[in-house]
Amino acid sequence: MPDAAMTMKNIRLAGRLYDLLIRPVMDFVYGWSITTKVRLLLIALVVLPSIGGLILLESRPNDLQTYFIVALIGTLVLLAPLSNFIADYLVMRDLREVERFCLKLKGGNYHVTFDLPQQVDEERDILVLKRNLNWMAHVISRREMQLETELAKTHKDRERFADMSLRDQLTGLYNRRGMEERLAVLGHEAWAVDRPLTMLFLDADKFKEVNDTYGHQAGDELLQNLGAIIRTNVREGIDVPFRYGGDEFGVLLVGNDLEHAERVARRILRAYEEVRIGQSSLSIGIAMMTKTDNGYLQDTRQLLSDADQAAYAAKRAGGNRVHLHTPTEGPKTI
């Protein structure tokens, strides 16, 4: 244990000496430009051996031949490791750092940066390159954030425009296209799990008289009020209120039978009587989807047809009433 403690102490001491003496020198040399490094290497490899040869020529000329032979052999032996050292000393260390930096950028890490000293007026070329790479990474990161923001905005706009294409502009309810899309989805779910799916089909009676007598603005206000009444009396996010076209409206009631649909229809009928204009009234037809072997698409089309026929039957009976389509018991007007 004492030997191990002594070893750790020596290691820590060596580390402190390295940080105090060697590390500053290496950082200082590392901060030199490539041109300065080349000049120093030329002095070390060319000028110093030449000076040594001149000294031998003056003092011991007989050993000059031996000196050059040793120098030549030493150069050949040390050529590979010396060239690797020179390359690493000049550029390879920096190039490896640049390579690691670029690999991180390639991997999508745009927040990577070089740890560089404070900028001064005259810097070596590799430092300038690294500062430019840092700035490039910053610009890419900023533009990526801007792109993500724009993509998110575009996605929201696309969803909003897609929803607008399925909505009636006057009432805010689903339009015919929106209803048909929701009917296909809800019909498939109801058909697959035997869940009730009921439709109310509403027709505003004598609506043309309202337009002719009170004007189209009054007619639009009446339709808006009717749309608001329908929306208020159904479950938001579950049921599907829609404007089929003109003065025809409807609701898809999810998971409700005819009895519940009748109560909803009566609430709508009573609320409409409070906002109606002139002699206008509502004819409401109710039908429930019946599962057959024809498939859910045919069954949903039949549901729409049954509800439409039930509303037409209520209108023929004088309007301002509810008509239930009951295939097993026959039509029933209430």
Catalogue the active-site residues.
247
Beta bridge partners of 245: 248
CA distance 183 to 215: 34
Beta bridge partners of 285: 201, 323
- The residue type found at 238 is I
CA distance 193 to 58: 109
Q: Are 284 and 275 in contact (CB under 8 A)?
A: no
Cβ count within 10 A of residue 186? 22
Q: Are 265 and 200 in contact (CB under 8 A)?
A: yes
CA distance 300 to 217: 35
- CB burial of residue 132 (10 Å; 0-12, 13-18, 19+): exposed
